[in-house]
Chain A
């Protein structure tokens, strides 16, 4: 029985980790159609922001939940103003620009912090479930993923801000005609996407440590999840994470971690072959 619980918990944890690493990208790519190849580096920057703040004496929770998203969010706004705003609607060009940005960020962080691993210990200790133990922090991350999804959905569904954002993404010209400034909306949305990435980067730092090149470990999975999810950014990301995370964990338990990764990729390939527009391109089309 306890084994079943721990297995279920592990699946939730894998799903949550996919949700978390994809969320910032879902906003930037899913809403704004900017192929942000520097997404992994946004996460990396969040990790460094959290660890640096923590080492400077800031409370760990403050460092992860406030300093990391603020730093990366501001950085995102600056990047949007300087680079991205010139490239809206030019998919390939945003790809090149953000790829260059990612290389520059890796280089810059390497120069400042050195190409070595830094890290902090995970807080909260451990949980005992029957004969098994798991890190309480992993459970906390599942909770964070749920909160972020719920908050994102509420903002988009119930607030004026969400309505304006959705309207601008659908038809910027019409939104402008109704008195909304699209460039402001774009900048804020990009900043929020970056801040989400920064938050997650900070939250993941205690588990994975940070190194300037850690972004490479996240970027592929984030893109696979968002693209498999399809047009509805929140429900799409959540459903795709649920599917791919479950397959990955099940295969890891049944076989080996390598097979787990392979299973995830094969599942994504099959999914996109059957549903080229992603899951929400066919089902739940009116979801958010």
Chain B
């Protein structure tokens, strides 16, 4: 056997190549021990008060599942992305999660705009998507599960409750974009259905901070109650100016959006405001008390909202479905979720509605009191009737859009 120089070079090169490739193979094998899950939540920028608590509850859910032995014999690895309240980062991170990390599921999105930016993208990459925020309803797409409440679930209960308590003349003030516009229509519909009247509806761009003229207009209209669907940092001024004018003692307020505002405003400003959500911190069950304690203590989040709690439910719903399907394959998991998947947690019972991929959930009416919400009444298992009116994924599994629900008033 002759040993030519060329031969020596090739064998050494191959040997070196194999040696250097070794660690990569091993790393790949180790990666297979994890099931990757992505969370895309704004933990900086204008939406960070919501994003931070959603990241906390997602982390809590993943830790719980891992502590109980993980999924399919593997641990879950949570990859958090911070899109900085910027839509452009949403598409970038969703693409990265789906293609580079090849995650089993993406949870995330806070505003409807961010959801609509990544929903088509994740569908194209065949990556399952959970959106856990209350929103205006109407999304119809078999690749997405929306676990938050929609107006038909909350407004339908809130309006008759406050009308019975305070009277039939309603003045609506709402944020001037699709959520506010659609919610205002639902308020009008349910007010009329209950024999009342909406005397006036005013919309405000998201940067308005001066509500002086509106507060005087409301006094001139003399409604029995004011229904607010105001959104965001600037609109908090309304509650302050309302209280400064002493109006909080004259005309009562109800709201579909007043949530985390309870942390920022003072008790004199918010006591007595009545709200309806699929979750309130004051829910009096042992499971919720333990949940709230962990989030306040271990994660240092001062106040929990529906967004964060439904994120927690969403992760558990997905994990249970993976166990049932015995696979992380997208279609098998969707199948398991559609087969009436259900999770009972801090927000009560949340069940997937196969027709709409929204959830049947418990709705709570609560009253703001000293930086917290006390539960006044609860309604179990409310169906997403608004989305169901326009969306049937059993009949049209290839549907892929957000319908604008035509509210008949």
Contact = CB atoms under 8 A, between A and B. Distances in A.
- A and B associate: yes
Contact of A208 (B45, B210, B220): B210
B213 A257 contact: yes
A6 B221 CA distance: 14
Contacts of A132: 216, 219-220
B237 A209 contact: yes
Nearest to A257: B204
Nearest to A122: B244
A257 B265 CA distance: 24
Which of B176, B209, B243 has most chain A Cβ within 10 Å?
Answer: B209
Interface in B114-166: none
Nearest to B222: A131
24 contacts: A7-B216, A10-B212, A14-B212, A116-B48, A116-B49, A121-B244, A121-B268, A121-B269, A122-B241, A122-B244, A125-B244, A132-B219, A133-B219, A133-B245, A137-B244, A207-B240, A207-B241, A208-B234, A209-B236, A209-B237, A217-B207, A257-B204, A257-B208, A260-B213
A98 interface: no
A13 to B, nearest CB: 6
B86 interface: no
Interface string B222-253: 00000000000110110011011111001000
A126 B245 contact: yes
Interface string A216-237: 1100000000000000000000
Leading 6 A-B pairs by shortest Cβ distance: A126-B246, A135-B244, A208-B209, A122-B244, A252-B213, A135-B245
Contact of A6 (B46, B216, B240): B216
> Which residue among B46, B219, B233, B246 has the maximum number of chain A CB atoms within 10 Å of its CB?
B233
B224 to A, nearest CB: 15
Interface in A8-23: 10, 13-14, 17
A270 to B, nearest CB: 22
B112 interface: no
A214 to B, nearest CB: 7
Nearest to A213: B46
A217 B250 CA distance: 30
A261 interface: yes
A256 interface: yes
Interface string B253-283: 0000000000011101100000000000000
Range for the number of chain A residues in contact with chain B: 35 or more
B40 to A, nearest CB: 18
Contacts of B397: none
Interface of B: 44-46, 48-49, 176, 202-205, 207-210, 212-217, 219-220, 233-234, 236-237, 240-241, 243-247, 250, 264-266, 268-269
Contact of A115 (B45, B215, B234): B45
A125 B244 CA distance: 6
A206 interface: yes
Contact of A258 (B203, B209, B215, B216): B203
Given A208-B210, A258-B205, A119 B48 contact: no
Contacts of A3: 220
B266 to A, nearest CB: 5
Contacts, number: 120
Contacts of A117: 233, 236, 264
Contacts of B202: 256-257
Given A117-B236, A214-B234, 19 more contacts: A3-B220, A6-B219, A117-B233, A122-B241, A125-B244, A126-B247, A131-B219, A133-B219, A134-B216, A207-B209, A207-B237, A207-B244, A211-B233, A213-B46, A217-B209, A252-B213, A256-B203, A257-B205, A257-B208
A118 interface: yes
A253 interface: yes
A143 to B, nearest CB: 16
A41 interface: no
A189 interface: no
A133 B213 contact: no
Contacts of B49: 116
Given A133-B245, A207-B244, A257-B202, A119 B212 contact: no
A131 B218 CA distance: 12
A3 B48 CA distance: 42
Contacts of A133: 219, 245-247, 250
